[in-house]
Amino acid sequence: MHFRKLEAVQQVTLKNDLQLTLRPAEPRDAEQLLVFINQMAGESENTTIGPGEFTMSVEEERAFLQQAAESPTSLYLIAEVAGEIAGTLTFSAGKRSRTRHAGEFGTSVLRKYWNLGIGGRMLTYLIDWARQSGIIRKINLRVRVDNLPAIHLYEKHGFVREGHITREFYLHGEFIDSYIMGLELDPPPGQPTDV
């Protein structure tokens, strides 16, 4: 398998010829990220955050972004189109030596950018970043059992279903189950590992 060196900032042309920029978040992004999160929370029922439920202040978000930027086992990825945050992906691994090799990610894309390939581009970035970290050996996620496009995307990238959680979501008076999915990783050949 061929591994390529991950560039921190990537430029990609999307299906509709829009230019997508993928880059790690910085503390200066805090205000714009809070706007994105609140907009996304009102557009999608596939995330754990509903409208008005994200209550982090700008200062708290800045501190969180700084902490993520300084951690070798955390990633806060921004997908931008024409200066607007179109999507995000966050990954965080365990803090202790026995669990720092594995973590869980969540991702979201604004509705107007759905079906353009942004989710897949962010996922590829995460997998490449994790492989090259020398630490991350397992990526986990949870996905609603009825979110078939997301499940297909994850399977296309090599994730497998590892479990089933009942009553994970509660929406419109009904419980919705989730799958636990995972991807086991090995670092590029010849790269030292910290595991």
- Number of C-alpha atoms within 13 angstroms, CB side, residue 195? 22
Q: Is residue 153 part of a domain?
A: no
pLDDT single digits (tens) 27-78: 999 999 999 998 888 887 787 777 777 888 999 999 999 999 999 999 999 9
What pLDDT, on the 0 to 100 scale, is given for residue 4? 47
Q: Is residue 3 part of a domain?
A: no
pLDDT single digits (tens) 119-138: 999 999 999 999 999 899 99
Report which secondary-structure segment, H or E, holds 61: helix 58-70
Question: In which domain, by residue range, is 113 found?
Answer: 10-137
- Number of C-alpha atoms within 13 angstroms, CB side, residue 14? 21
The total of structural domains in the chain comes to 1
Both tokens assigned to 104: 């869980």
In whole angstroms, what is the distance from residue 186 CA to residue 169 CA? Answer: 32
Both tokens assigned to 115: 């079906």
Q: Is residue 63 part of a domain?
A: yes
In terms of DSSP H, where are the helices of 134-173?
148-156
Q: What is the pTM of this model?
A: 0.89
Q: Residue 45 sits in a domain of what CATH number? A: 3.40.630.30
Strands 138-144 and 160-171: unpaired
pLDDT band at 191 (very low <50, low <70, confident <90, very high): low
Percent of the chain with pLDDT over 90: 75
Both tokens assigned to 91: 């990954």
Does pLDDT of 118 surpass 60? yes
Mean pLDDT, the chain, rounded, equals 90
What pLDDT, on the 0 to 100 scale, is given for residue 2? 39
Q: Is residue 179 part of a domain?
A: no
